[in-house]
Structure formats: C-alpha cells, structure tokens
Structure 1
Amino acid sequence: MQFSTLVTIALSLFAASADAKKFSTNMQKIPQDETLDATRFADYTSALASKYTQAFAAGTPIFGHKPQQVAEIPFVDSQQKHEAPLTDYLNAQYFTEIQLGTPGQPF
C-alpha cells in the first residue's frame, strides 16, 4: 500500500513539473501625440461616464418609482480643459503583440 502511494505521488509530481524559462518579447509604444489626443480623451471620459451612469440606472428600482439619487460623475467634464497635464500613464502606453491558437492569431 505504501509503495503504490509513493509511486502515485512520484508520478503526479513528475507530471506537474513546470519548466521555468525566461520569456522575453518586443515592447512597442503608442506615440505620445496619439496618446495625449484631446478628442480621444474626450471620447474616453464620455464612455466612462456613460458606463457608470448606465450601471447606476440599472441598479435603481424599476417599479415606477423615480430614484431619489441622481447619478453624477465628479471631476469629469469632457467639455472643459483639465488642470492636470496628461503626461504620465504609468507605462500604460506600452504594449506587445501576442498570438493565440493554432494557427496563431495575433492580438
């Protein structure tokens, strides 16, 4: 009984072993003029406001009662200039291309 248990443990450890290999890829960067484009930022803020106001509306009762709260997005107004300069995206402008599936489909 002990021998079969040891064999089972040994085989499961052998099957579960993983190769620890270094993975590297080429990083690409979105151009800064494209990243800081005001129209894209306005689209982004309006999409964000729409997303959260729709979520707020979906969470309110629908039994003919009007909600007493109004969905407001503080500090976001896509029609005005923003005081904070958009210069640091915390490396969010970097990306890489991956392939999934057989044959590989690039994303």
Structure 2
Amino acid sequence: MTEVHEYERLAAEYRAQEAWGIPMSVREWYERRLAELRAELRRARHGRPLGEILVAMGAVDPKRLELALAEQKAEGGRRLLGEILLEKGWVDEDSLKLALKRQLSP
C-alpha cells in the first residue's frame, strides 16, 4: 500500500508543479519515479482485478471499463488502469482509492 500512497503523492505534486512550469530535469525525475512506481504496483500481488472491484462497487460502467482496458493495452500498459479512468472522468478519486484499498487488503 506504501507504493500507492507514494504514487498518489508524487502524481499530485507533479500536476501542481506542471501547472507552474517545471525545469526539464525535474520533470524527467518525476516521470522516471512515477514509471518506477507503476512498475512496482504492477508486480505486486493483488487480489481481484481493480476493474472488477470498481464494477462491483458500481463506480464504473462495464463498457467504459472495457474501453479503458483497450486503451491501456493499445499504449502498451504505459499507464495504470486507474490513471486512465480518472483522466477520462469515468471514476472519481474517492472510489478509486477505496477500490485500491480493497484490492490490496489481505
């Protein structure tokens, strides 16, 4: 769960700094660290798939989940499913956090 919190914190910092303009070296550091955290989150053993949990919660429509998964696959898994769903406005941040908590709970 630590990686999830660090990822959320860094992503929020990055978005805030990006709004003001950040030097390329700082931007590269954020992007590299976020990519490392994405990889760690993918490798971690999880319970049920995140999309399945979100659908069961009623937080995302199954059709939109399919579209998000297709987009994730098309871009080679570069972004996490939650990132795509948030970016498109198909899930709210609180629901995503709750689903991640459920996914990572033993």
The two structures have a TM-score, normalised by structure 2, of 0.25
Greater helix share, 1 or 2? 2
Higher relative contact order (CA 8 A, sep 6+): 1
Structure number with larger C-alpha Rg: 1
